[in-house]
Amino acid sequence: MKLSEKDKKLLVLLLLIVVLCVLYFFVYSPLSKKISALREEVQKLETDLSILNDKSVQNDELKAKEKFIRYQLEHLNTLLPPDILQERVIIILNELKNASGVQLKNVSFSEVTTILSDEAQKEQDNSEEQSLLGQIIPSDSEGEKQEETQDAQGIADNTGIKMTVRASYVASYQQIKKFLALVAGYENKISVTDITFAKGEGNNVTGNLSLTFYGFKDSTQKLPEWETSTKTGKDNPFESPAGLEEVETVVPEEEESSEENAESVSLYDFYLILNPVTDDAPAVILGKSKSIGSEIYADGNRFFDVDFHVEERNGRYFYKYSTGSASYPVDFNSDLEFSPVDSRGVILKIISKKPVIPQDAAGVNLNIYNNTGNKLIIDMNKEQWNSRVNINVKKGAISVEER
């Protein structure tokens, strides 16, 4: 059978249509579905990757936060010992007395008591009232109550505790100033709750004072060990005990000036701590001296940009600082007022530690904005700090005191 040209063309067209259908249904369509599935898988993987990247950043932030919390806990453990022992308080008083030259007499100690909140204080007052009523109106369960009272006398863990020490003193004016400065700067929390002054013999000052020692009861912690070099016994048994002799405590003017200089050197307004990247504490810690909650931090094996601002307005001083990831105050458009500890100017103390590993690259670019009439005094340990901090004076002037 002979096909015409028209039939041949129709047959070729039909074959093309069959081939295209086969290609579409058996090649293109499966590949298209596979491509769509792969695209969805790629999109899901990209989403998972984004989540993992966010978690990685959060993980670094959490690690830095954990380091900072550990650092704060260690600081708190130093500030508030896990118990208050009378023996340890006596040694601390002896250290303060010897360092300042103040003569302490008639020393008495209170019992260790708990630090109560306002609500707890009200509850204690109510219990005391009930106890008083119980004494007036006898009860059949009086013996049981006494046992409960004895059991309650023990101080539970995780409780704030305190002990008050009262004493009279004899000292020169400069010595009592130094004593109070040593108390304020002591590593354990001690507060002067009461003090009186009176003119003594010569240039001496006499009076009474009350010191309160604070702690945080924790039986799981061990008290830090301390060493004593106190001489025991005496060569002459008829000699008056040390501390009971009337000692003239007048300090010459030259000694007074040297004491004041020593105090001014040791004091500072702000501190910048630079730790090794392997340390348990964050790599960078910046804070205001003796200001609770003023510390901010940054952690990582790199250099951080730190902005430090101090300003003088109408004789009043203000400050703020930032590590990039955190600032103090939180609203960086505002600032906080403070009083410099030294008449020469604001003091920033830099405490740096040497790297532990060669790969340690942690440090700061310290940008200083000093808008005061005096130079910003930087107190630092030159032999260690220079590899960790680059000082950039953006405004004002600085004075470096190397130690």
pTM for the full predicted model: 0.54
Residues 6 or more apart whose Cβ sits within 8 Å of residue 84:
112, 161, 162, 163, 213, 214, 215
Q: What is the pLDDT of residue 352?
A: 87
Among 104-113, 164-173, 238-247, the minimum mean pLDDT is found in 238-247
In whole angstroms, what is the distance from residue 268 CA to residue 288 CA?
A: 9
**253-307 confidence digits (pLDDT tens):** 444 444 444 444 468 999 999 988 888 888 899 999 888 789 999 998 999 999 9
**322-343 confidence digits (pLDDT tens):** 998 899 999 999 999 999 998 8
Would you say 188 and 232 are in contact if contact means Cβ atoms under 8 Å apart? no
**206-256 confidence digits (pLDDT tens):** 999 999 998 888 766 666 665 555 555 555 554 544 444 444 444 444 444
In whole angstroms, what is the distance from residue 309 CA to residue 395 CA?
A: 9
Domains of the chain: 80-117+157-220+242-266 (3.30.70.60), 267-402 (no CATH)
Provide the total of helices (H) and of strands (E) in the chain, helices listed first. 8, 18
Q: Which residue has the higher pLDDT, 105 or 75?
A: 105
Q: What is the pLDDT of residue 132?
A: 53
Would you say 269 and 347 are in contact if contact means Cβ atoms under 8 Å apart? yes
The confidence band for 122, taking pLDDT boundaries of 50, 70 and 90, is low
Q: What is the pLDDT of residue 287?
A: 93
Inter-axis angle of helices 173-184 and 86-100, to 10 degrees?
140
Q: What is the pLDDT of residue 32?
A: 86
Q: What is the pLDDT of residue 55?
A: 78
* In the predicted structure, residue 36 carries a pLDDT above the cut 80: yes
Q: What is the pLDDT of residue 253?
A: 43
Task: Name the helix (H) or strand (E) containing 371.
Answer: strand 363-371
Rg of the chain (C-alpha set): 36
In whole angstroms, what is the distance from residue 104 CA to residue 92 CA?
A: 12
- Token pair for 218: 């924790």
Percent helix, percent strand, percent coil in the chain, to nearest 5: 35, 30, 35
